[in-house]
Amino acid sequence: MDSEAATAAETSKVRLSVKFGGRSIPVEIAADATVKDLKLLLQTLTDVLPRGQKLICKGKVLSEDSSLASADISDRSKIMLIASQGLHQGGGPIKKELPTARAAGGFATEKRKTNEETVTKSRLERWKLSGVLALSDCGLTTIPKDAWTCGSSARVLDVSHNSLHEVPAEIGGLSKMKKLLLDSNLLSDTSIAWDELASLKHLIFLSLNQNNLTSIPSALGALTTLKHLDITNNKLVCIPTELGLLTSLEVLKLKNNRLKTIPMSIGDCVSLVDALCLSNNGLTTLPKTLFRLCIELSTLDLHGTEITIDLLRQFEGWEKFDERRRLKHQKQLDFRVDGSGDFDEGADKNW
């Protein structure tokens, strides 16, 4: 009987080959599934949103409402996936390698030696005097140890566009820092000393754009002075509810990730004024209280998600939000010499 059950379970599934981006993706799915079920499965494998997928089998475009059986799809069937431009979650449907170290020529080697081995006294004095540690695009693999000697003198640390694998616990020693830029490095979830970073009580600007992050810890909720948070172009699949504790936050950018939901607590970020950017994620809805609680929000970017403009119009507080965004758009047009420009709805129209 067990053998019969195993055989039945085996025959209840079909194995498909989906051609996409120059490669064949093996897929196993229940024989009684629908084309929509297949699209949802392919979203996890390709990052292309279901509504951005066109599936073709035997020269025919598959209807989303059809079952696999009615679409004449059986075991070993071959299917072609064509992705619509822009309708994806994360950085794009075709994965790209994150930036590695800069060119390995003599010039890059010299810069690494200069920044990692020999920090001159004049530069260290300049850092302490100005409070600005400008180390962007220097070919770094680690943050220079001399940077930590600046202590409470440091106001800005810019180590973007390097090849850093770690932000060590020493970051907590820059106790008066206001602006931290960690863009375009090789940072992962466990390579950042989050508790020490979260102890920076004067931090107002934090950018982690284009790294290897899949999540952010609840400790980030301790940065209650933060006004600008940018974690775009990562691989985030979730964000903590503690993000709602950032009541001073004015700009939140989470574009080009893999988020499917946003916690209700995001409505507690009542200072959101300038922008909430969530484009190119797998989102299907937003907290219903967003417009009612964030009464100064004027820019919302949801392009490339499953959320349409018609869905947003059903949210409480939409009318007042709509007034604010139209007023902001008009002011921007008034400053343009030619007066040209189309009104950006903030989300895609019905599909």
pTM over 0.95: no
Q: Identify the residue with better confidence: 104 or 345.
A: 345
Q: Please, which pLDDT band fits residue 116 given cuts at 50, 70 and 90? A: very low
Are β-strands 179-181 and 205-207 bridged in parallel, bridged antiparallel, or unpaired?
Answer: parallel
98 has pLDDT over 90: no
If one counts every other C-beta atom within 10 angstroms of the C-beta of residue 28, the result is 10
Q: Please, which pLDDT band fits residue 91 given cuts at 50, 70 and 90? A: confident
All domains in the chain, ordered by first residue: 2-83 (3.10.20.90), 106-285 (3.80.10.10)
Paired tokens of 338: 């030619």
Q: Please, which pLDDT band fits residue 191 given cuts at 50, 70 and 90? A: very high
What is residue 134's predicted lDDT score, i.e. its pLDDT?
A: 92
Mean pLDDT of 220-233: 96
Nearest to 70 by CA among 101, 36, 44, 43: 36
If one counts every other C-beta atom within 10 angstroms of the C-beta of residue 321, the result is 22
Nearest to 50 by CA among 257, 345, 279, 351: 351
**Distance in angstroms (rounded) separating the CA atoms of residues 69 and 31:** 7
Nearest to 50 by CA among 64, 65, 70, 29: 64
3-state SS string for the chain: CHHHHHHHHHHCEEEEEEEECCEEEEEEEECCCEHHHHHHHHHHHHCECHHHEEEEECCEECCCCCECCCCCCCCCCEEEEEECCCCECCCCCCCCCCCCCCCCCHHHHHHHHHHHCCCCHHHHHHHHHHCEEECCCCCCCCCCHHHHHHHHHCCEEECCCCCCCCECHHHHHCCCCCEEECCCCCCCCCCECHHHHCCCCCCCEEECCCCCCCCCCHHHHHCCCCCEEECCCCCCCCCCHHHHHCCCCCEEECCCCCCCCCCHHHHHCCCCCCEEECCCCCCCCCCCCHHHHCCCCCCEECCCCCCEHHHHCCCCCHHHHHHHHHHHHHHHHHCCCCCCCCCCCCCECCC
Residues 57, 72: contact at Cβ < 8 Å? yes
**Distance in angstroms (rounded) separating the CA atoms of residues 200 and 276:** 23
Mean pLDDT, all residues of the chain: 85
Paired tokens of 219: 């400790």
Q: Please, which pLDDT band fits residue 297 given cuts at 50, 70 and 90? A: very high
Mean pLDDT of 188-202: 96
279 has pLDDT over 60: yes
344 has pLDDT over 70: no
Mean pLDDT of 78-104: 65
Q: Please, which pLDDT band fits residue 161 given cuts at 50, 70 and 90? A: very high
pLDDT tens-place string over residues 237-267 = 999 999 999 999 999 999 999 999 999 999 8
